[in-house]
Amino acid sequence: MIENSKEIESLIRLLDDPDAEIFEHVHDKLKSYGSEVIEYLENAFEKAFDPIQQDRIANLVHEIQFGTLKTELQLWHQGGAFDLLQGALILNKYQYPDLDEQKIINQIEAIKRDIWLQMIYDASPAEHVKLINHVLYSIHGFSGNTANHQDPQNSYLSQVLETKKGNQISLAIIYSIIAQKLDIPIYGVNLPQHFILAYVDESLESEFEGGILFYINAFNKGFIFGRRDVDMFLKQLNLKAEKQFYEPCSNTDIIKRILRNLISAYEALGSTDKVRELNELLDIVSKEL
């Protein structure tokens, strides 16, 4: 808790000091307070007329928020990365630091409830998928963003839930999180140049090892397909049929894939600072535990 708000306000007023040494000292001192100082900085930003001071306040707020985000991502990764939604929300805060996490959780819960109300528990796996598809695509109107596929907004869950448009991975994340909340075993598969879902049931005779009954394309309204289609897709890419292209991947792999998508999208936009920062986040989740 900040005890001396007068000291904070005095320091903020010194942020536009032309002396580099004074600015450096003030900057570091304010940064040391962490996220508690953000409210003071934002108030000062609104009152500031000097563009240098405004610029320095905005940069400092971003530095503090980015530092907090790195710590959160590190804790998520080191803690076993069990909660995919939590990992996706942490990344969402990169672009939207004031994100209302509860709002997103509620939106996902509402879709889940719509499916649950129509669910027949002894239905077949294909019937379960048909129901999810109906609620997600026909009732809620989700679809793949084919018109602007490279847009970084496609990777932020808050925006995808708002616009109902996303890329392969964001739609697959929403799909699999909802399915798993309903005890339907649908997981992400890290296919090159595409991200798909697998319906896994180890208790049944399946098309091949790993207990996978079939695959689902969340980008194409939940279209169901089989192993041979994956074989053909890999053949088109001149890639060897490796086990990792067929079986569910870890939550960490999914978060890495989102980060790589964002890096690629921001590279295309020429946003070098964002590319550098997102590479820092990628390094965090790439560390061996």
The predicted pLDDT at position 210 comes to: 65
Residue with the bigger pLDDT between 274 and 19: it is 274
Which tens digit of pLDDT belongs to each residue from 60-89? 889 999 999 999 999 999 999 999 999 999
CA 40 to chain centre: 29
Residue 98, SS3?
Answer: coil
Q: How many CA atoms lie within 13 A of 182 on its CB side?
A: 29
pLDDT category, 42, cuts 50, 70, 90? Answer: confident
- Give every CB contact of residue 24 below 8 A, 6+ residues apart in sequence: none
The predicted pLDDT at position 3 comes to: 59
Residue 187, SS3?
Answer: strand
Lowest mean pLDDT among 40-54, 202-216, 226-240: 202-216
pLDDT category, 121, cuts 50, 70, 90? Answer: confident
Which tens digit of pLDDT belongs to each residue from 178-196? 999 999 999 999 998 899 9
Q: Is the dihedral of CA 7, 10, 12, 15 positive or negative?
A: negative
Over the chain, what is the mean pLDDT? 90
The predicted pLDDT at position 37 comes to: 84
DSSP label at residue 184: -
Mean of the pLDDT values across residues 236-260? 93
* Percent of the chain surpassing pLDDT 70: 96
The predicted pLDDT at position 205 comes to: 52
The predicted pLDDT at position 68 comes to: 94
Which tens digit of pLDDT belongs to each residue from 161-174? 999 999 999 999 99
The predicted pLDDT at position 209 comes to: 56
Lowest mean pLDDT among 17-31, 99-113, 118-132: 17-31
The predicted pLDDT at position 2 comes to: 56
Domain ranges of the chain: 5-78, 84-286
The predicted pLDDT at position 51 comes to: 80
- In this predicted structure, the answer to whether residue 201 has a pLDDT above a threshold of 90 is no
Indicate the pTM of the whole model. Answer: 0.89
Q: Residue type at 246?
A: Y
Nearest of 33, 28, 38 to residue 58 by alpha carbon: 38
Mean of the pLDDT values across residues 219-229? 94
Contact 171, 160 (CB under 8 A): yes
Mean of the pLDDT values across residues 182-211? 82
pLDDT category, 38, cuts 50, 70, 90? Answer: confident
- In this predicted structure, the answer to whether residue 217 has a pLDDT above a threshold of 60 is yes
- What is the β-pairing status of strands 212-217 and 186-189? unpaired
